[in-house]
Amino acid sequence: MTTLSDFFPSVDSFMPPLVEQTEYLLNGELKKWDGEFKKIYAAVKQKDSDGVLSDIYIGKVPITGLTEAMECLDGVCQAYKNGFGEWPMLSVEQRIGYVENFIAEMLKLRSEIVNLLMWEIGKSEKDSEKEFDRTIKYIYDTIDALKKIDRESSNFIIEEGVIGQIRRSPLGVTLCIGPYNYPLNETYTLLIPALIMGNTVLFKPPKHGQLLHYALSKAIQKTFPKGVVNFVYGKGSEVVEPLMQTGKISVLTLIGSSKVASNLKKAHPKTNRLRSILGLDAKNPAIVLENANLDETINECVAGSLSFNGQRCTALKIIFVHENIIDKFLEKFSAKVDELKAGMPWDANVQITPLPEPEKINYLNECVTDALEKGAKIINNKGGKTEGSLFLPAVVYPVQEGMKLYREEQFGPIVPICTFSNLNEPIDYMIHSNFGQQVSIFGTDATEIAHLIDGMVNLVSRVNVNSQCQRGPDNFPFTGRKDSAESTLSVHDALRSFSIRTVVATKENTQNKQIFNTIVRDEHSNFLSTHFIF
Ligand code: G3H
């Protein structure tokens, strides 16, 4: 009989990556580090001849301390030089040139990065490739969106005797921290817009999914001016808060927990100077109405709740099903969940893969035990079986107020299901939720759906009809209400979030017109210019 440990590779049957990083990017140089290191182990485990699982060492990263963090901060402050640095004063076209050179370097790293995503965070090969390709596309789209913004700003406005030119300017030194579930995509969809708008960036790689950032830091070193991006390592609690306390950070951009974000914001001594661009917690509900098309709904709910083992901020993290269809729903949904293929990231068509957080399996078990003690059951046959870093998805029903699974964001392969007789029950759930990212409504009655849309657009930032919650397409705004987000990200919106509209204006008289004409004609300024990017 196959056991879960059979899914893991045998010792010596594979070739894991090995990235031992003994330097970090500081002011355009890779600075040697001979202090402490953090050892990195793969999400994937190896099994010996007795089937016993053990960790696979895949590399190490520096644990730099506060002194190094402050040095990194000074470097990016120097590069920004209160707005008079080379980087913030470049023209948009010049900054685009740097980013294009970076893309060329990044493309050379595709197979290395995909491999590291698979080993370090356990993402399937297909999804790892998708993450890389989506990020490249995002950067190209960002360049196109910025060209468009710049073209629209390449003119003057004359009103009430005042001549003005309005463009977007950078905000300053930016602290950028990404999440472990999309360690490439979600960090680079912050980093690139921040940079291309002229900000300088202090970059802290996520807790898991760190190794791929070493190769990328070398690509940054090769392509960007010195100090435009510096890398900070070490324990977040020890280095990040003190960085904020200096008051030198103008933008905090983070995809992670609302608790961390609010502590960091509070640490800043001049909160009005700080702009926060945040993607935070979510507990997106699905609401399955009595008249929903069950087969389509179940396919969307399985993908929505369990893609990448449920480790997406946009995942469906609780499902409300109308009482008249709950039995049918549970039967069909559980069967589909049990059909999901578990295995290693490189296995063909794999859907359930090892989890990267060592403490996660315990937490998931705690959630399930708590629900079972309070009267719920695991509905699917394979649900909750676990070995090493694998946890087979558990469908838990009925989940109710008072259970951890009702309110906590499990961020893993558990699907809590509740039932309702009156639509006010899921609506009340959303009203009282701390989160307000998205919702999915499944049904076929246009009038009922329209009513829900009109109310729910005021509770969350995206209402999905007969489809799972998701971030993409990347041109759609990605944000949330309450503790789920601050500011908006999309290809276009991120460029706005990381910049501020700024005006250069003068009274319309002969002398001023002559000055402006000379500046524009002789191309003295990168801001005051009618240059058109083709
Ligand atoms: O973890 C949150 C991500 O932004 C989700 O993105 O919906 O494309 O998986 P996705």
Choose among 312, 240, 245, 239: nearest CA to 282: 312
pLDDT for 1 equals 65
- Ligand 1 centre and the CA of 106: distance in Å? 22
pLDDT for 299 equals 98
pLDDT for 524 equals 97
Q: Are 105 and 219 in contact (CB under 8 A)?
A: yes
Q: Of 257, 314, 464, which is best to mutate to test ligand 1, by the most ligand atoms within 8 angstroms of its C-beta?
A: 314
pLDDT for 340 equals 98
Residues 6+ away with beta carbon under 8 Å from 272: none
105 pLDDT higher than 90: yes
- Ligand 1 centre and the CA of 315: distance in Å? 8
Local confidence band at 55 (pLDDT 50, 70, 90 cut-offs): very high
Atom of ligand 1 minimally distant from the CA of 472? 8
Q: Of 189, 190, 439, 471, which is best to mutate to test ligand 1, by the most ligand atoms within 8 angstroms of its C-beta?
A: 471
- Find the residues whose C-beta lies inside 6 A of ligand 1: 181-182, 186, 312-314, 470-472
Token pair of 451 as six digits: 């009513």
Q: Are 203 and 229 in contact (CB under 8 A)?
A: yes
Residue 9 is given by DSSP the state P
**What's at 490, amino acid-wise?**
S
- Ligand 1 centre and the CA of 144: distance in Å? 22
Q: What is the pLDDT of residues 276-293, one digit of tens each?
A: 999 999 999 999 999 999
Q: What is the pLDDT of residues 144-184, one digit of tens each?
A: 999 999 999 999 999 999 999 999 999 999 999 999 999 99
**What's at 336, amino acid-wise?**
K
Q: pLDDT over 90 for what percent of the chain?
A: 98
Going from the C-alpha of 190 to that of each of 67, 107, 278, 396, the distances in angstroms are: 25, 19, 10, 35
Residues 6+ away with beta carbon under 8 Å from 473: none
pLDDT for 3 equals 86
pLDDT for 2 equals 72
pLDDT for 236 equals 84
Phi-psi region of 483 (alpha: psi -120 to 50; beta: other; left: phi over 0): alpha
pLDDT for 451 equals 97
Q: How many residues does the chain have?
A: 534
Q: What is the mean pLDDT of residues 467-495?
A: 98
24 pLDDT higher than 80: yes
Neighbours of 149 (CB within 10 A): 19
Taking the alpha carbons of 467, 468, 474, 475 in that order, is the dihedral positive or negative? Answer: positive
Local confidence band at 12 (pLDDT 50, 70, 90 cut-offs): confident
For atom 4 of ligand 1, which residue has the closest CA? 471
Q: What is the mean pLDDT of residues 101-105?
A: 98
CA distance 415 to 302: 9
Q: Are 435 and 482 in contact (CB under 8 A)?
A: yes
Q: Of 127, 313, 479, 488, which is best to mutate to test ligand 1, by the most ligand atoms within 8 angstroms of its C-beta?
A: 313
Q: Which of 1-15, 120-134, 399-413, 459-473 has the lowest mean pLDDT?
A: 1-15
Q: What is the mean pLDDT of residues 67-83?
A: 98
Q: Are 8 and 45 in contact (CB under 8 A)?
A: yes
Instruction: Please give the full DSSP string across 318-366, using - where no structure is assigned.
Output: EEEEEGGGHHHHHHHHHHHHHHSPB--TTSTT--B---S-TTHHHHHHH
Local confidence band at 122 (pLDDT 50, 70, 90 cut-offs): very high
Atom of ligand 1 minimally distant from the CA of 308? 9
E strands, 126-249, in order: 157-159, 162-170, 173-177, 200-204, 229-231
**398 cis-preceded (ω within 30 degrees of 0):** yes
CA distance 367 to 533: 55
Burial letters for 375-414: b for 16+ Cβ neighbours within 10 Å, e otherwise? Answer: ebebbbebbbebbbbbbbbbbbbbbeeebbbbbbbbbbbb
Local confidence band at 114 (pLDDT 50, 70, 90 cut-offs): very high
- Ligand 1 centre and the CA of 88: distance in Å? 30
Q: What is the pLDDT of residues 416-446, one digit of tens each?
A: 999 999 999 999 999 999 999 999 999 999 9
203 pLDDT higher than 70: yes
- Ligand 1 centre and the CA of 513: distance in Å? 50
382 pLDDT higher than 80: yes
Residues 6+ away with beta carbon under 8 Å from 60: 19, 20, 21, 37, 38, 39, 40
Largest CA distance in the chain: 90
CA distance 389 to 440: 30
For atom 6 of ligand 1, which residue has the closest CA? 471
Q: What is the mean pLDDT of residues 246-250?
A: 98
Read off the pTM.
0.97
Q: Are 58 and 120 in contact (CB under 8 A)?
A: yes
477 pLDDT higher than 70: yes
Residue at token pair 């729910």 = 456
Choose among 495, 494, 501: nearest CA to 527: 501
Residue at token pair 């016993």 = 52
CA distance 154 to 156: 7
Choose among 49, 60, 47: nearest CA to 5: 47
CA distance 114 to 369: 35
